[in-house]
Amino acid sequence: MPTIRDIVTAIARREGVEAAILLGRDGLLIDARAAEGLDAEQLAAHVPPLVSAADELGRAASRGSTTTAVVEHERGMMIVSSLSPDAMLLVLVHAGMNVGPLLFELRRHRGNIASVV
């Protein structure tokens, strides 16, 4: 069975991925692989407020809790995947990357990843 480190490393090695950060719902880092110059702990700390806001929007729109959030910026995208009540995954990708296959894999394997956490 793969470990948390194996999963984070496998995601981080995908072409176009700059960081894969596994964090608790409190924003504390569990494990990470990030390109030089990216502060994984600081990035992890910023995820919970983003997910909270997305959850509030989901409730207001009768959509439920956030399972995946994709945020596009000028120089890339961020994908936040809720894995369990205790853990989330943040993936940073380069601008122009086709995130479709990555989103599919994260959705498909969400339960498997959560079982390791």
H helix or E strand, kind and range, residue 55:
helix 40-60
Mean pLDDT of the chain: 93
- Residues of the chain with pLDDT > 90, as a percent, come to 85
pLDDT digits (tens, 9 = 90+) for 50-94: 999 999 999 999 999 999 999 999 999 999 999 999 999 999 999
Name the 3-class secondary structure at 23: strand
With beta carbons less than 8 A apart as the criterion, state whether 24 and 97 touch: no
With beta carbons less than 8 A apart as the criterion, state whether 22 and 8 touch: yes
Q: Give the pLDDT confidence score for residue 116 in this predicted structure.
A: 81
Position 117 pLDDT exceeds 80: no
Q: Give the pLDDT confidence score for residue 11 in this predicted structure.
A: 93
Domains, the chain, with CATH or none: 4-116 (3.30.450.30)
State the Cα–Cα distance between residues 29 and 17, nearest whole angstrom: 18
pLDDT tier for residue 3 given thresholds of 50, 70 and 90:
confident
Distances (CA, A) of 83 to 36, 66, 67, 100, 110: 26, 10, 8, 18, 6
Q: Give the pLDDT confidence score for residue 113 in this predicted structure.
A: 83
Write down the pTM of the prediction.
0.93
Q: Is 90 exposed, middle or buried (0-12, 13-18, 19+ CB in 10 A)?
A: buried
